[in-house]
Amino acid sequence: MGVITLTTDFGTSDWFVGTMKGVILSVNPSAAIVDITHELPAGDIHAGAFALTACHAFFPRGPVHVAVVDPGVGSERDAIVLRTRNHVFVGPDNGVLSLATDAQEVLAIHRIENKTLFRNPVSSSFHGRDVFAPVAAHLCRGTPIQKVGPRVKDFVKLNPPLPRAGKDSIRGEVIYVDRFGNAITNIDSRMLSGLAGSDRHIAVRGRRICELSSHYAAVAKGKPVALINSCNLLEIAVNGGSAAHRFRLNRGTIISIRAGS
Amino acid sequence: MGVITLTTDFGTSDWFVGTMKGVILSVNPSAAIVDITHELPAGDIHAGAFALTACHAFFPRGPVHVAVVDPGVGSERDAIVLRTRNHVFVGPDNGVLSLATDAQEVLAIHRIENKTLFRNPVSSSFHGRDVFAPVAAHLCRGTPIQKVGPRVKDFVKLNPPLPRAGKDSIRGEVIYVDRFGNAITNIDSRMLSGLAGSDRHIAVRGRRICELSSHYAAVAKGKPVALINSCNLLEIAVNGGSAAHRFRLNRGTIISIRAGS
Amino acid sequence: MGVITLTTDFGTSDWFVGTMKGVILSVNPSAAIVDITHELPAGDIHAGAFALTACHAFFPRGPVHVAVVDPGVGSERDAIVLRTRNHVFVGPDNGVLSLATDAQEVLAIHRIENKTLFRNPVSSSFHGRDVFAPVAAHLCRGTPIQKVGPRVKDFVKLNPPLPRAGKDSIRGEVIYVDRFGNAITNIDSRMLSGLAGSDRHIAVRGRRICELSSHYAAVAKGKPVALINSCNLLEIAVNGGSAAHRFRLNRGTIISIRAGS
């Protein structure tokens, strides 16, 4: 029994996701299908790429990860399959697969072209159902990746912003805001531990908002807190509240950390 | 392993859907349960009927489709099972099953009456849990449909609005707005292809809004676009935006198409 | 194949729940995972406890119920496993498990301490992924409960408000508002049936709003109705509308019932 994960912006108020599952089960009745999320902001490739990065390594060996954030559906954009040591990724070639594969070697890239694996006819607006679901189901059943189409050399990559480290400060930015209003930054624990001094202040728009703590409840209810989160990234939160709302944090908001004396 | 699909207005913020799944698995531990949607507007039988129509054909042969949009729960309304060549449908007899079965022969209609298949006692407010879930699970396990209750002659049908085609124009209406704000109309591709002239303009409230394209990204971001969607119906969208919001499109909004010269 | 249910406030817009499922399937590939809800208000232990109470008994014998509403994650709060005759419950020791176990004998309480069952390293912000998911998966596979950690004597209990019954009246309160705006009270059917007189009026803030009916559609659309719901509790609803909105009902709103002459 193979695992197929689904990460989309299709929402759950319509029939889109259920229909993809029907197609998957038609091809591969024993696939275990796991929803990552379907509530990505419509067309938000960066959010989809980040969600896939955050979750994919927690699945048992050999999963097929399908990510469909696909504003270009029906256009000339390519569809691809990426294979790494432990994972297979399926989606449009628009960058949505490119963060999850950042930290692992991509062993093969194939362009999805083999129409015999698709539903027929292929609609121009729902490749999740007609292309990605059946291709993933075939791959999960054991169809070799080279059957999906020709091997290609490259795929579209997002260029996520990188933090900059000075001697006694780091300047990064918010890359994701979660449902609790926690703001996840691009500053990781290794970079933080390289910062001299034990007294580390987090600032937004020149205003110090908190120090680094170990967990949310280390501060009183309603107080801001920064911690290394479960993705190993610096996260700014408010205990029992929304940091995004309180400090107007969005993707791209600059976050700086300065070590005290 | 049989498939049971669930289409309801129960939402996902409470325990209703999870409880139905518990009941299904209690009767039939190997059922594969697929959520179509649980976010139908409360009591919106038309939306439920349309969602079921749009998804059901994409499931492997023999699924049991459960649709519970049931404002009359606990009243004298009947509960029914419909059997077609490849599908079984279970739900209240209020029209919610009647669009999916429009395009296929209904081979048998049975009224659900056999209390030995129900949970006991049956509540007056949650037949999804006490009647529909266990009946579907039994049917999925192979219980013959005649066991659920007596065969009856007819069931409640919705009367969906039909488009009207003139020589050089078609007048239809919006029948569903999806999560992206795309407005799906009752005008299908066959009807459209019967329209003389290649220059086909879509108009709302007397105002031309766009021509027919092949896919969303055929127009610039923020521009309106009309296309034949994955249900084979004319759909009005805004590339990267919400057509429903932009053009105030709701179910029932009249849409006209006029062929140019 | 064992069943694991998940009740959390993680939402479905991020990757949290999908990641927990990946961890569960990594430990126990054949677990059947059922979502109860992930849309609990953030940090709302009472809502989580009530949802678990309302659903757990409808699962086949032997399920592992995981409830993660965990504002104290990473702090010194304990994590526990409870075993009753037919169920196993896993979660933080903050009361979230304590309503479901109110009506059944708790046969064993164990504190979760065995790090060999955890993911390693354990983050300070996501014990759903690193502690509760793997422990539940191990328990579902047959790991004996005593392996999770030492047996302890007690666990944190919520003190739900109790209704007070007089000779010809009952005074209770709203304990949960569902997605339809139905307000569920702490007054159960047994208490109601003890109320003399057949004419029973429900009042909020001194204002009579309706009598007791058998089902929602027993009153006209838009009218208020009270009934014994599927949890066997008095519920106040508006047929086709939201009682919570109409009568400003929240958790804690006092509800009184008075028997007529």
Q: Tokens at residue A5, please?
A: 């994960």
List chain B residues with CB under 8 Å of A29. Answer: 1, 32, 60
Task: Please name the member of C12, C71, C124 whose beta carbon is closest to the beta carbon of A214.
Answer: C124
Are A22 and B63 within 8 A, CB to CB?
A: yes
Are A178 and C73 within 8 A, CB to CB?
A: no
Q: Is the pLDDT of residue A259 over 90?
A: no
Are A13 and B179 within 8 A, CB to CB?
A: yes
Distances (CA, A) of B26 to B8, B227, B235: 20, 45, 41
pLDDT band (50, 70, 90) for residue A25: very high
Contacts of A239 (CB under 8 A, 6+ apart): A216, A217, A219, A220, A221, A222, A223, A224, A225, C71
Q: Is the pLDDT of residue A69 over 60?
A: yes
Predicted local confidence at residue A261, as pLDDT: 55
- Given the structure tokens 């708790």, which residue do they identify? C106
A55, A228, A233: best to mutate for the C interface, most C CBs within 10 A: A55
List chain B residues with CB under 8 Å of C60. Answer: 22, 25-26, 29
Q: Is the pLDDT of residue C261 over 60?
A: no
List chain B residues with CB under 8 Å of A73. Answer: 215-217
Are A22 and B34 within 8 A, CB to CB?
A: yes
Contacts of C47 (CB under 8 A, 6+ apart): C40, C41, C69, C176
A201 to chain C, closest Cα gap in Å: 19
B121 to chain A, closest Cα gap in Å: 31
pLDDT band (50, 70, 90) for residue C257: very high
- The closest of A217, C190, A158, A235 to A226, measured between CA atoms, is A235
Predicted local confidence at residue B242, as pLDDT: 97
Give me the interface pTM, i.e. the ipTM: 0.96
Let me know: does A17 contact A40? Beta carbons within 8 Å.
no
Are B75 and C217 within 8 A, CB to CB?
A: yes
Interface of B with A (CB under 8 A): 1, 3, 5, 7, 12, 32, 34-40, 51-52, 54-55, 58-60, 63, 178-180, 214-218, 227-230, 235, 239-240
A11 to chain C, closest Cα gap in Å: 9
Are B18 and C55 within 8 A, CB to CB?
A: yes
Higher-confidence position of C1 and C124 = C124
Predicted local confidence at residue B172, as pLDDT: 97
Nearest chain A residue to B51 by CA distance is A15
Are C36 and B43 within 8 A, CB to CB?
A: no
pTM: 0.97
What is the torsional sign of CA A57, A63, A64, A70? negative
- Given the structure tokens 């004996």, which residue do they identify? C144
List chain C residues with CB under 8 Å of A60. Answer: 22, 25-26, 29
What's the burial of C248, exposed, middle or buried (CB within 10 Å: 0-12/13-18/19+)?
A: exposed
List chain C residues with CB under 8 Å of B29. Answer: 1, 32, 60
Are B39 and A13 within 8 A, CB to CB?
A: yes
Chains that touch B (3 or more CB pairs under 8 A): A, C
DSSP for A97-156 reads TTTTTTTS---EEEE---GGGS-SSPPSS-HIIIIIHHHHHHHHHT--GGGGS-B-S---
Chains that touch A (3 or more CB pairs under 8 A): B, C
Residue A110: strand pairing partners: A81, A151
Predicted local confidence at residue B193, as pLDDT: 86
Are C230 and B23 within 8 A, CB to CB?
A: no
Task: Give the mean model confidence (pLDDT) for residues A129-146.
Answer: 98
C33 to chain A, closest Cα gap in Å: 10
Give the span between the Cα atoms of C257 and B197, in whole angstroms: 69
Give the span between the Cα atoms of B38 and B17, in whole angstroms: 8
Question: What share of chain A in percent tops pLDDT 70?
Answer: 98
Give the span between the Cα atoms of A253 and A105, in whole angstroms: 30
Contacts of C144 (CB under 8 A, 6+ apart): none
Q: How far is CA B150 from the centre of its chain?
A: 26
List chain C residues with CB under 8 Å of B125. Answer: 215-216, 227, 229-230, 235
Are B51 and A129 within 8 A, CB to CB?
A: no
Nearest chain C residue to A176 by CA distance is C14
What's the burial of A198, exposed, middle or buried (CB within 10 Å: 0-12/13-18/19+)?
A: exposed
DSSP for C123-158 reads PSS-HIIIIIHHHHHHHHHT--GGGGS-B-S-----
Q: Report the 10 Å Cβ neighbour count for B78.
A: 15
Q: Is the pLDDT of residue C165 over 70?
A: yes
Read off the pLDDT of residues A74-83 as tens digits, 9 standing for 90 and up.
888 999 999 9
Least confident of A90-99, A134-143, B5-14, B191-200: B191-200
Read off the pLDDT of residues C27-57 as tens digits, 9 standing for 90 and up.
999 999 999 999 999 999 999 999 999 999 9
Contacts of B47 (CB under 8 A, 6+ apart): B40, B41, B69, B176
How would you write the pLDDT of chain B (261 residues) with one tens digit per residue? 799 999 999 999 999 999 999 999 999 999 999 999 999 999 999 999 999 999 999 999 899 999 999 998 888 899 999 999 999 999 999 999 999 999 899 999 999 999 999 999 999 999 999 999 999 999 999 999 999 999 999 999 999 999 999 888 999 999 999 999 999 999 999 999 888 766 789 999 999 999 999 999 999 999 999 999 999 999 999 999 999 999 999 999 999 999 875
Residue A177: strand pairing partners: A183
* Helix spans in C132-261 (H): 133-141, 189-193, 243-246
Give the span between the Cα atoms of C249 and B168, in whole angstroms: 55
Let me know: does A117 contact A143? Beta carbons within 8 Å.
yes
Average pLDDT along chain C: 95
Predicted local confidence at residue C259, as pLDDT: 86
- The closest of B111, B94, B43, B34 to B66, measured between CA atoms, is B34
Nearest chain B residue to A20 by CA distance is B58
C234 to chain A, closest Cα gap in Å: 30
pLDDT band (50, 70, 90) for residue A125: very high
List chain A residues with CB under 8 Å of C15. Answer: 7, 36-37, 51-52, 54-55
Read off the pLDDT of residues A190-205 as tens digits, 9 standing for 90 and up.
999 888 766 789 999 9
DSSP for A201-229 reads EEEETTEEEEEB-SSGGGS-TT-EEEEE-
Let me know: does B169 contact B256? Beta carbons within 8 Å.
yes
Are C178 and B13 within 8 A, CB to CB?
A: yes
